[in-house]
Structure formats: structure tokens, C-alpha cells
């Protein structure tokens, strides 16, 4: 009897091809659309209806059953509120990582197994083997950074059919099968509000914020910001400080509502060779102190050779072999042993 796989179908090409490949490989495939967020925002219509329709159309094309899992309440609590709370604290949280930890590879998996699935599958560009997580073959599309807080048990119950493919190959394979999502462009922006900027989203959720001082590296007031909550370390645009050299955010004081900036791209506060992390998560075994690994401090950053200096159940410190720019509290640092993801933690500070 064929193994039953529930495929999370987002309405995009990656998950569409994943469902097609699994069916061709002989699995008993069921398509599932996760309804996580349906709210429109000022000037922006949430695309969930279009995504739902595209996912359902592909399921019909493939001749597979199709379900909808309504996770909107849980998603609001586990992902959206988490993100908003982080910004209130002056952090730059990553909602995509929390979505994978709490929704896609926990709630979706648990619900699927209860409904008779043996496995789940998604369209992520990663690979897995024996409960271990590895980077996707396509370096440009690799999404392992976002999955570092997924459990080994979840990985043992998950298939990633496009992890061995490039994006171009995925589109070509989807077109060959005449899937209607073959040329659909990738979604951009925050995972649940599409192309709405984070500032607009926070304004909609929290309202106008108190303006405050922008102070440069010499202690001089150079402008007024419209809420410290909106700024992140390393940010250059959106400061509205005119003239001369560009300014970069180097620090914030949420209590005093001050944003600190610099015009010096070599300012020591912009660069870090040591990163302190909290809430560490290890997929299998933790890394060894004193051993060299690769670390990414944000999704699109280059991996840097690093050494774990100290490690406890609640924290760890990492020395970076070269300085990294704009290490932002609230973001994640992910540790790799070559192509394998060991885990990582939430950035407390860089220095």
C-alpha cells in the first residue's frame, strides 16, 4: 500500500511541482492549503484567495484530493504576535523561522498525521536524511536558514521533493507538466502580508509611534525619526536625514526613543566579530566548543568560518573569523557543518 503524503500547497510553483513529483513516484498524495492569514491591509489585498485557487487548480490537474487546514488563530498567536512583540522590544524578529517551527513542521504535521498521513511534504529548497537537515542543491534558493528550528522527528516525517533541483529546473519541470503555476512569480516580503512593508504593517497594527531624536556618532542631533520601533541595525534608507554622507543605524534606545546613526561605514558598532545568542536550538547534537563551523547571521549573508566559544542550555557565543556587518538582535544566526544544519539561536548582540 502506497504511503500517504499530505503536501503543503501554497499556490506557488515549488509546492505544485512537489505534489506532481510525489504522485509520479507512487505516493498517495493529498494536497493541503494552509489558511494562515486572510486579512487585507490599507492599499493591499491579501492574495490568499488567488493562492488557494491556484493550489486547488493544480490539485485538480494532478487528480489528487485537496483539503484546507484553517490555522489562522494559531498563526496569529505563534507568528504574528511573536513578531509584533519582538519589534516592541526593539528587536528584528524573523517570522518565517517561527512559522516553520510552530506551524508548518509542527501544527501541520500533527494535523496531517491525525488525519491518516504517513508523511508531509513542502516545496522548500532543502534536503534531509535520517532526521538531519542539509542545504538545498541550489545555493541561490537554499532555504535551510529558515528551517533551523525544526525538530529531527519532524524531518523524519517530511519530504522535500525540490531540494535537489534548481529554481530554473523547477519552473521547466512544472511547464513540462503544464502546471498553471509554472510561470507564477515568487511571493515577496513578509511571509504573511506579501509585499506590504514591515513599517506599514506595524503602523496598521500599533498605530502612529512617538517621534524621537536621531543622534550621530559625535552625539549631535541630526534629525527626527517617526518611531524607534521601525528601525533595524545597519539600516540606511528611511531615515530622512538629508545631505552629505549616508547614515547607518548602529543602535537604538527604546526607553528613551532614540535612534543612533553613523556616517562611518567602518564604525565599530556596525561590525561584529563575536555574536552572543539565546534560545539555542539543535536539530540533532549541539556543536562542539573550539571546533570550526560555518555561520550565517542573516538569510542572504555569506557563510563565515566561526568557532563556538561557549555553550549552555540557554545561550552560546560564537567568534567569527571575519567581521560581519549589521548583526541585528532578534534575527537568527545559523550554524552549519559544511552542508548540514546543526541549529542556531536568536541574536542577543554582536560585538
Q: Which residues are catalytic?
A: 99, 191
Q: How many CB atoms lie within 10 A of CB 225?
A: 24
Q: How many CB atoms lie within 10 A of CB 25?
A: 13
- Report the first-to-last Cα separation within the chain, whole angstroms: 56
Q: Are 10 and 32 in contact (CB under 8 A)?
A: no
Q: Name every residue whose Cβ is closer than 8 Å to that of residue 168 and which is 6 or more positions away in sequence.
A: none
Phi, psi at 308, each rounded to 5° = -75, 115
Please give the Cα distance from 167 to 170 (Å, whole number): 5
DSSP string, 23-74: HHTT-EEEEEEEE-----BTTB--THHHHHHHHHHHHHHHT--EEEEE-HHH
Instruction: Specify whether the backbone of 350 is left (phi greater than 0), alpha (psi in -120 to 50) or beta.
Output: beta
Please give the Cα distance from 134 to 136 (Å, whole number): 7
Burial of 184 (0-12, 13-18, 19+ CB in 10 A): middle
Q: For residue 270, what is its C-alpha cell?
A: 556596525
Spell out the long-range contacts of 52-57 with Cβ–Cβ below 8 A and sequence spacing 24 or more.
52/11, 53/11, 54/11, 54/12, 54/16, 54/180, 54/181, 54/184, 55/9, 55/10, 55/11, 55/15, 55/16, 55/31, 56/31, 57/180
Please give the Cα distance from 351 to 333 (Å, whole number): 14
Burial of 219 (0-12, 13-18, 19+ CB in 10 A): exposed
Amino acid at each position: 500500500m502506497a504511503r500517504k503524503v499530505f503536501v503543503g500547497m501554497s499556490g506557488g510553483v515549488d509546492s505544485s511541482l512537489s505534489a506532481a513529483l510525489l504522485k509520479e513516484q507512487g505516493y498517495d498524495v493529498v494536497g493541503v492549503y494552509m489558511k494562515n492569514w486572510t486579512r487585507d491591509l490599507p492599499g493591499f489585498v491579501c492574495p490568499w484567495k488567488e493562492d488557494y485557487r491556484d493550489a486547488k487548480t493544480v490539485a485538480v490537474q494532478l487528480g489528487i484530493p485537496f483539503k484546507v487546514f484553517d490555522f489562522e488563530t494559531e498563526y496569529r498567536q505563534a507568528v504574528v504576535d511573536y513578531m509584533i512583540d519582538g519589534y516592541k522590544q526593539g528587536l528584528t524578529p524573523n517570522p518565517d523561522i517561527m512559522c516553520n517551527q510552530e506551524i508548518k513542521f509542527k501544527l501541520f504535521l500533527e494535523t496531517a498525521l491525525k488525519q491518516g498521513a504517513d508523511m508531509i511534504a513542502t516545496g522548500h529548497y532543502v534536503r534531509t536524511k535520517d532526521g538531519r537537515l542539509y542545504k538545498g542543491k541550489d545555493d541561490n534558493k537554499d532555504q535551510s536558514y529558515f528551517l533551523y528550528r525544526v525538530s529531527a522527528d519532524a524531518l523524519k516525517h517530511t519530504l522535500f521533493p525540490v531540494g535537489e533541483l534548481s529554481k530554473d529546473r523547477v519552473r521547466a519541470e512544472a511547464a513540462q507538466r503544464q502546471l498553471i503555476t509554472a510561470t507564477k512569480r515568487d511571493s515577496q516580503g513578509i511571509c504573511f502580508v506579501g509585499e506590504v512593508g514591515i513599517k506599514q504593517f506595524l503602523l496598521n497594527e500599533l498605530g502612529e509611534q512617538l517621534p524621537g531624536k536621531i543622534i550621530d556618532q559625535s552625539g549631535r542631533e541630526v534629525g527626527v525619526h517617526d518611531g524607534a520601533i521601525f528601525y533595524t541595525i545597519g539600516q540606511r534608507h528611511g531615515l530622512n536625514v538629508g545631505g552629505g554622507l549616508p547614515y547607518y543605524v548602529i543602535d537604538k534606545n527604546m526607553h528613551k526613543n532614540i535612534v543612533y546613526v553613523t556616517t562611518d561605514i567602518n564604525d565599530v558598532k556596525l561590525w561584529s566579530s563575536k555574536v552572543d545568542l539565546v534560545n539555542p536550538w539543535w536539530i540533532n547534537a549541539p556543536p562542539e566548543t573550539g571546533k570550526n563551523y560555518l555561520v550565517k547571521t542573516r538569510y542572504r549573508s555569506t557563510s563565515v568560518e566561526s568557532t563556538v566559544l561557549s555553550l549552555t542550555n540557554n545561550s552560546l557565543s560564537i567568534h567569527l573569523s571575519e567581521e560581519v556587518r549589521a548583526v541585528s538582535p532578534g534575527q537568527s544566526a545559523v550554524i552549519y557543518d559544511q552542508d548540514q544544519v546543526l541549529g542556531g539561536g536568536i541574536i542577543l548582540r554582536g560585538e
